[in-house]
Structure 1
């Protein structure tokens, strides 16, 4: 599973920063949706197997999830701001690309404050893609075409990929209340989320597709497909399976990931997903339980997988830094970004994630001991 998670993160990197020798993998949007499925699988598992009994605490679950996401994000956010200031000093002007959107707001303090607070607390960052600024009064207004605003609110984000964390955090808030329910309820929610996509596409056309991608109610179905994967895992975890099945599933999913651009791309007008997207999301949903069964004890696979979140959240910072180094521009720029992002992700993991992870796990032990006492 770890190999797939990190490959999905690298797919986002290549989508934003350029292909490597013509390899693009599955693109950013589909990679994020696949991430949501895997996240739904893990949350279904921990809520039904880990945060139970003495550890059945909503506060403990939520705070541990926040500890997982916030420290690395804040490090990247701070480094991005500091990097922007250094570039400003180098350029002898504060009007650099990273800060220009704030100057365009012309002193609209409430809107600027909203953007700053939003990026500190992460909650609601996905909503940035649902608002634009009315320059006549500085107020925010709802729109499904936020990226066409002047300036687009998205240009004010220091860590643009963090909008997915806003979606994740919203899911964490409600996960304990739905992932322990009967399968019929989960299936009903998947159907509702799917048909909301269909309705919005029918009502507003393709103009809302980018907005729906970042809209939690229409993304909920992906997390809940992870619950379906978890139910499959429960069915097969104690069944004697072929020793090579895990490697076969891994090979097939890797092959589909690399061959994705070659798949025939066709789509119905009012079906929200194209054929290759539908095929890939189905493949991930079916593959996840078997990948977990076969590779959950692999230290190498787990180590590789731990890099996925740092790679995803820091790649834009690495991109901005390397973009300022003009002699690196060229056909290999995407490769440079990937290599430097992986190195930076390793540092973030060792210096930030590993110590925090020890603390997270110790909280479970302490809480259990305290309640049993």
Structure 2
């Protein structure tokens, strides 16, 4: 029920990074965090449990979900650098082959050790700073931060307190987006969704707000488009932040609606939804690599297409991205999925 949404959010990241302005994709990233908070709490509560053996199974499963596909993306990056050379254009400047023990370890482990992981370079797949945030909160959820509704309430409260503290300390808004603590609010809200559905607390919310998930997505998308258009025309940062948190509210309601079983796109079957969702993670990992190839073929240099976007650049980049993703799904994700299922079904 979440697959189509995940891939649409991944495409928003692709558009923001390659064709438009980065702000566009940022709205999707916090949507991903909410969804991850819900799903990880759900599987810990329903599929694993909190014994040491259960936590180990959860960790193994998350490792197999994230790392093999990521390592393939790194190999593709290294091959492309060997073929095309390095570029100093935008994010491509940080896509260099790691040449120190520290950079090799960080790129192998997806642990970019900084409270704002985007500050650690090089990164063979630039967007993976957010996976450091994901890994941190996967661990927190496995350790029980959302084990009970009371703990989750405390978690949400502490997350809000962090946001308030950043304003009180006069920190720039990047601290409320790129930092690991910034991910706490959307993750905790996702965990809260699990308990709202489980304990039937959704009746406290007017049903008109959660009956139509497509409208909620439309509201979230409209805000992202508006901000992306106006941020380059002088939209104040404070106004952007207000709209960002409005978007977060709509993403919260959207995930809640889908968790309640409301159909996102009624004409998309569960089977198709699952297959579409399979593209989400490869899209996220491989879009810079796809743009490397298409920009070199079209423009003769490695670059993003901002300012040079046309139908050919969009279609070629998407075609290459889909091809790379299909390779990842067929030769990495699908075989490993059988092992993940076996691990999940092992008796504790």
TM-score (norm 1): 0.75
The corresponding residue for 2:245 is 278
User: In 1, Cα distance between the equivalents of 2:60 and 2:142?
Assistant: 13
Asked whether the equivalents of residues 10 and 338 of structure 1 are also in contact (C-alpha less than 8 Å), the reply is: no
User: In 1, Cα distance between the equivalents of 2:280 and 2:32?
Assistant: 10
Match of 2:213 among 230, 250, 255: 250
The corresponding residue for 2:309 is 331
The corresponding residue for 2:193 is 229
Residue 248 of structure 1: how far off its partner (Å): 5.5
Alignment gaps of 5+ in structure 2: none
Query: After alignment, is 301-310 or 325-334 more displaced?
Result: 325-334
Residue 190 of structure 1: how far off its partner (Å): 1.8
User: In 1, Cα distance between the equivalents of 2:146 and 2:111?
Assistant: 24
Asked whether the equivalents of residues 178 and 186 of structure 1 are also in contact (C-alpha less than 8 Å), the reply is: no
| Matches for 1:332-351 after TM superposition, within 5 Å | 332=310, 333-351=313-331
Residue 227 of structure 1: how far off its partner (Å): 0.9
The corresponding residue for 2:338 is 358
TM-score (norm 2): 0.80
User: In 2, Cα distance between the equivalents of 1:198 and 1:251?
Assistant: 31
User: In the alignment, does 2:133 pair up with 1:167?
Assistant: yes
Moved over 6 A (4+): 99-103, 263-268
The corresponding residue for 1:134 is none
Asked whether the equivalents of residues 95 and 126 of structure 2 are also in contact (C-alpha less than 8 Å), the reply is: no
Residue 237 of structure 1: how far off its partner (Å): 11
Deviations 1:281-328 (A, max 9, x none): 112212213324245971111211221111111111111222222348
Return closer, same or farther for 1:101/1:176 CA change in 2, 3 Å cut-off. Answer: closer
User: In 2, Cα distance between the equivalents of 1:162 and 1:303?
Assistant: 23
User: In 1, Cα distance between the equivalents of 2:39 and 2:236?
Assistant: 31
Asked whether the equivalents of residues 41 and 223 of structure 1 are also in contact (C-alpha less than 8 Å), the reply is: yes
Return closer, same or farther for 1:248/1:72 CA change in 2, 3 Å cut-off. Answer: same
Residue 85 of structure 1: how far off its partner (Å): 0.7
Match of 1:61 among 52, 58, 68: 58
Query: After alignment, is 330-339 or 192-201 more displaced?
Result: 330-339
User: In the alignment, does 2:152 pair up with 1:186?
Assistant: yes
Structure 2 SS opposite 1:325: helix
Matched positions, count:
322
User: In 2, Cα distance between the equivalents of 1:15 and 1:256?
Assistant: 18
Task: Provide the aligned C-alpha RMSD in A.
Answer: 3.5
Deviations 1:138-189 (A, max 9, x none): xxxxxxxx5xxxxxx54x2111111111111111112122344332322222
Return closer, same or farther for 1:80/1:246 CA change in 2, 3 Å cut-off. Answer: farther
Asked whether the equivalents of residues 3 and 276 of structure 2 are also in contact (C-alpha less than 8 Å), the reply is: yes
User: In the alignment, does 2:266 pair up with 1:313?
Assistant: no
Residue 249 of structure 1: how far off its partner (Å): 2.0
The corresponding residue for 1:120 is 108
Asked whether the equivalents of residues 213 and 262 of structure 2 are also in contact (C-alpha less than 8 Å), the reply is: no
The corresponding residue for 2:170 is 204
Return closer, same or farther for 1:247/1:336 CA change in 2, 3 Å cut-off. Answer: farther
Deviations 1:251-285 (A, max 9, x none): 2033224422247998895x9x7332222211221
User: In 2, Cα distance between the equivalents of 1:294 and 1:187?
Assistant: 25
Deviations 1:110-138 (A, max 9, x none): xx3211210011123665747xxxxxxxx
User: In the alignment, does 2:192 pair up with 1:195?
Assistant: no
Query: Which entry has the higher C-alpha Rg, 1 or 2?
Result: 1
Return closer, same or farther for 1:237/1:303 CA change in 2, 3 Å cut-off. Answer: farther
